[in-house]
Amino acid sequence: MGIIPSWGGATRLVEIIGGRQALKVLSGALKLDSEKALNIGMVDDILPSSDETECLKEAQEWLQQFIKGPPEVIRALKKSVSSCKELCLEEALQRERDLLGTVWGGPANLEAVARKGKFNK
């Protein structure tokens, strides 16, 4: 199309797979199939089904591993991880402390403590 990626596409790709691989992908020098995408770190997994309906079911099942647990804890965890990429170290550490304060003593924390988790053995 005679243009370059925008809205952060190239920048995010470099963060994910590194500058050398991103240049190959964006220039068209590296043609990607699912195995190559997995090998360079562009995707996390390859689901086996090629059937559209089965594919959606597999994807939903695969995603379950990332959403187990209380939504407020998952949300805080995602914000904490994102801060590491977006902020300098000191700001990211402060953000992590601030986020801990939003879940510490909350329902999920109290329930986990009541179940006599690993800290009560």
16 inside domain: no
Give average pLDDT by consecutive 10-residue segment, the chain, 121 residues: 85 91 90 93 90 89 89 93 89 95 94 76 55
Neighbours of 42 (CB within 10 A): 16
45 inside domain: no
- pLDDT at res. 42: 93
- pLDDT at res. 4: 85
65 inside domain: no
Q: Which domain holds residue 99?
A: 71-117
111 inside domain: yes
- What pTM, to 2 d.p., does this model score? 0.64
88 inside domain: yes
6 inside domain: no
7 inside domain: no
- pLDDT at res. 30: 86
Residue 17 CA to residue 105 CA, distance in Å, equals 38
Q: In total, how many domains does the chain have?
A: 1
Residue 105 tokens, joined: 């003593």
108 inside domain: yes
- pLDDT at res. 119: 59
- Residue 95 and residue 68 in contact, taking contact as beta carbons nearer than 8 Å: no
